[in-house]
Chain A
């Protein structure tokens, strides 16, 4: 049990390595091995939660891989492979482990070519994602943060749907790279000052005022691209629309969380002064994004773009909560991140179901599909309701806590942020209305093709957990409480 984190980090890579030795024509064997092993990894990751000590904000399950310094004798001899999780990162580790078997299951039939590579790409991606949330070392965080690009680039480029996918993959890659290279520079600057990348040491370090502002901005450049904040959010709809369904699931489920997780883990505790200083900037950008992106969503005709834009709106709502400087806001943000990691993938899965059958994502094509796909209609409406944070679904406690948090801090921002309730409702219901109801078009949708059993079982865990968090969020809030309080005291 003591090295569960390194197990989670390494085992997907090992399995990917094993799979690479299986001949590519045994697709069923490959798929089965990948699915079963990643499900086992998910179950093992749940032990983290079972064994987690809720009464402390310390990093738990800590371990050091490669006991001797891996970069010994170099200028980077402060580089340590230290792993550990606290109440915030635990859920993202579990979520990463949870989404990977789902992704494999999504591609069960729709992915016909390069099946072996598909499985390998997702397993490698899983390992990198878990790595991002587990490492307690700044440079290693950066390495994993960036490494995610490579499998994601491949996933969008190879199994994406249209010709435009290459452009999308490019945009995704270059936007993210540009932001994060600035972060690399500031990481080097930090190392130059402190002499270590160890996070626990960095938390106790004091920076000079101007340097702190500079470092914060450099980190912000990277995280804002990932969140995505408003001037640099263009990559997201492109990447989402062109990605395969499983790619969208990972993008929305985990990769969007990397930016906000970066704020939580690095910006707020390491640069508290700069965080206070730049709060107006973050608030302005986030509120702009919430309003503007919600309005943009209403006029989209591409199903995936609608969900992608709504993800942007939700993630910016999360940043509002993070910078609200009180415990409700922060806890609400973490909970909303978690909930969004379930709701948005669910919606993307739902769109994937349609796309698999009719190979188009134009909204008008599907009008009235509720008539031939009743179960699907139910599931879609359920996820839409979760998306606009209906009480009883998982988004509600998160958004509600954020509202409480931001209201204590800034009424005006609260007012603007609360428009998400209306605007979110507008686009989501409008989408639902046009998709499920409306004139049935028998020329287009002629065959009865409701969801099959496999698809139903991929939806089921999402539905269960969404309702669970919505009705009884205590287990989640309890686990994250100490860490969030600690973050608050470190930060503000």
Chain B
């Protein structure tokens, strides 16, 4: 299926043990070593009295962004683009390279737009940047994981970083509560996931995705008949259900979404940004590989679960966000409904499905980053000159008067999230529904259409508040920081002008989907 390991006659330690694997892992190795270096650098200088105990969060933030950019370059110029590494543990192909680049970009942008927030809130925690870096490393490995052990380990690596990040603001009760909640539920879901892995390992004797695929080949529809002492399809199905539960927990899809509104709300806003954006990419990448490669022949089992979860997410996302007052909770529910749409692409289990899922993910990330870039830049200034972020939805009131450009960008983003035609959000949704139709999931497509009319209600509500409702206390807008402005402008152009030249993104996404599915 994949290219074999390059074999060299030269005998040295590295080629003896890992052959050429380290060459393919250079981006990750670089990222880890850079992380360690930055950690040491931060520890030394932030405790140095000669420099008067400097606050290093912005400084290290820039370094982390730089590191991410170098890593992107390393991945982009990688010599080995298609391989199985470390004895079937990791896999590299076009799909993983593409998702990794997206992941790194998303993380870099997240840090970029939150630098100003850190400064304004005087969060003296440079380790948050290192944690984001470590979580990103975990996600890079997660994306290219090819067996259960690496899957679980990498999930834990990024989750641990996330637990700490959620509880970053130690003087805020919300943040600590979010951290605890996220830790408990995340650990619980990891436990479920691990139990699923062990069930499958126990009943198949293998941890590798590709070997699972070979084992299950041709067993579709034979679930009851094959049950020997070592190999039992029903048990594996049980394992798959557990795995799926863990996965749905992690991407905050509907029946297992309960942590996400609280955590999104409680965690500091930059962290929330990070939560909504990057993990989705990594988890979808890893589990697409697992299910489309490893369990493709057991599609009956997992497709049903995903269809159910997808429809519940769409419905719940459409109704629950209607009554939200706080913007971060609102975005949490909106991201639940987006997770439902993404799962439509997952449920298709076809090349088109994967392609439209990836496209939707990218557009979703751009939209979310645009929204958070606005929320993160303290665009308000009250009479007492206390800078306050946008916290409630009503804080957006009359943004159109105080900062019309931002209001227009926000409006475009909201229309795009609702899937109104000329914007990028429409294309991605139409893609999803088309692939659902071509996989005989017509009902799911109809449900998606109906719920997207409902979601329009609340996206337009935000626009209405921005343009028409009169605020209780008048605020002046302050200049938004330059980084956020650039990111906003870029995402605005992306969302608006995507219609004119969508071909490059289509091609890239298509290539990635082909690499995964064939």
Residues of chain A at the chain B interface (Cβ within 8 Å) = 66, 68-76, 128, 139, 142-147, 149-150, 153, 157-158, 166, 170, 173-174, 177-178, 181-182, 184-185, 188-189, 191-192
Contacts and interface: CB of A to CB of B under 8 A. Distances in A.
A71 to B, nearest CB: 6
A192 B421 contact: no
29 contacts: A66-B501, A70-B503, A71-B502, A72-B503, A73-B503, A73-B506, A74-B502, A74-B510, A75-B352, A75-B435, A75-B438, A142-B421, A146-B421, A146-B426, A157-B468, A158-B467, A166-B464, A170-B464, A173-B456, A174-B453, A174-B457, A177-B420, A178-B453, A181-B452, A181-B453, A184-B430, A188-B430, A188-B434, A189-B437
A147 B507 contact: no
Contacts of A166: 464, 468
A146 B434 contact: no
Contacts of A158: 467
B434 A192 contact: yes
A185 B421 contact: no
A213 B352 CA distance: 27
Contact of A174 (B352, B433, B456, B510): B456
A146 B430 contact: no
Interface string B489-510: 0000000000111110011011
B516 interface: no
Chain B interface mostly helix, strand, loop or mixed? helix
B222 interface: no
B436 to A, nearest CB: 9
Nearest to A73: B507
B499 A184 contact: no
A70 B437 contact: no
Contacts of A68: 503
A177 B503 contact: no
B453 A74 contact: no
Interface in B469-518: 499-503, 506-507, 509-510
B276 interface: no
A177 B356 CA distance: 22
Contacts of B457: 174
Contact of B460 (A142, A147, A173): A173
B516 to A, nearest CB: 16
B449 A76 contact: no
A75 B502 contact: no
A294 B435 CA distance: 45
A184 B415 CA distance: 17
Given A75-B355, A157-B467, A147 B503 contact: no
Nearest to B445: A185
Nearest to B511: A73
Contacts of B220: none
B434 A75 contact: yes
Contacts of B499: 143
B467 A73 contact: no
A177 B433 contact: no
B291 interface: no
Given A150-B415, A185-B433, A192-B438, A70 B420 contact: no
Nearest to A173: B460
Interface in B402-435: 415, 420-422, 426, 430-431, 433-435
A151 B500 CA distance: 19
Given A174-B457, A177-B456, A143 B502 contact: no
B494 to A, nearest CB: 16
A153 B460 CA distance: 10
Contacts of B430: 76, 139, 184, 188
B366 to A, nearest CB: 18
Contacts of A147: 420-422
Contact of B437 (A76, A173, A182, A192): A192
Nearest to B469: A166
B81 to A, nearest CB: 19
A158 B467 CA distance: 8
Ranked nearest first, the 4 interchain pairs of A and B with the lowest CB-CB distance are A74-B506, A146-B421, A73-B507, A143-B421
B73 interface: no
Contacts of B435: 75
Contacts of A150: 415, 420, 422
B453 A143 contact: no
A157 B464 contact: yes
A398 B240 CA distance: 66
Given A146-B420, A146-B426, 19 more contacts: A66-B500, A69-B503, A73-B503, A73-B506, A73-B510, A74-B431, A74-B503, A74-B510, A75-B355, A144-B421, A146-B422, A150-B422, A157-B467, A166-B468, A170-B464, A177-B453, A177-B456, A184-B433, A189-B437
A136 B267 CA distance: 50
Contacts of A182: 449
A178 B426 CA distance: 14
Contact of B434 (A72, A153, A191): A191
Contacts of B421: 142-147
Contact of B449 (A146, A149, A181, A191): A181
The winner among B355, B421, B453, B500 for most chain A CB atoms within 10 A is: B421
The winner among A74, A153, A166, A170 for most chain B CB atoms within 10 A is: A74
Contacts of B501: 66, 70
Contact of B506 (A72, A178, A192): A72
B43 interface: no
B356 A75 contact: yes
Contacts of B299: none
Contacts of B445: 185, 188
B475 to A, nearest CB: 20
Contacts of B503: 68-74
A74 B464 CA distance: 35
Contacts of B468: 157, 166
Contacts of A143: 421-422, 426, 499
B446 interface: yes
Contacts of A71: 502-503, 506
A70 B501 CA distance: 6
The winner among B433, B445, B457, B503 for most chain A CB atoms within 10 A is: B503
B356 A188 contact: no
A66 B510 CA distance: 20
A144 B421 CA distance: 7
The winner among A68, A144, A150 for most chain B CB atoms within 10 A is: A150
Contacts of B433: 184-185, 188
A143 B138 CA distance: 40
A182 B449 CA distance: 7
A170 B507 contact: no
A313 B435 CA distance: 41
A427 B433 CA distance: 46
Contacts of A66: 500-501
B431 A76 contact: yes
Nearest to A157: B467
A222 to B, nearest CB: 12
A357 B20 CA distance: 83
Contacts of A173: 456, 460
Contacts of A73: 503, 506-507, 510
A149 B437 CA distance: 26
Contacts of A178: 453
Contacts of B422: 128, 143, 146-147, 150
A170 B461 CA distance: 9
A413 to B, nearest CB: 33
A72 B421 CA distance: 19
B431 A75 contact: yes
B135 to A, nearest CB: 32
The winner among B426, B435, B506, B509 for most chain A CB atoms within 10 A is: B506
A184 B446 CA distance: 10
A130 B298 CA distance: 50
Contacts of A145: 421
Contacts of B506: 71-74
A232 to B, nearest CB: 14
A147 B416 CA distance: 11
A185 B507 CA distance: 24
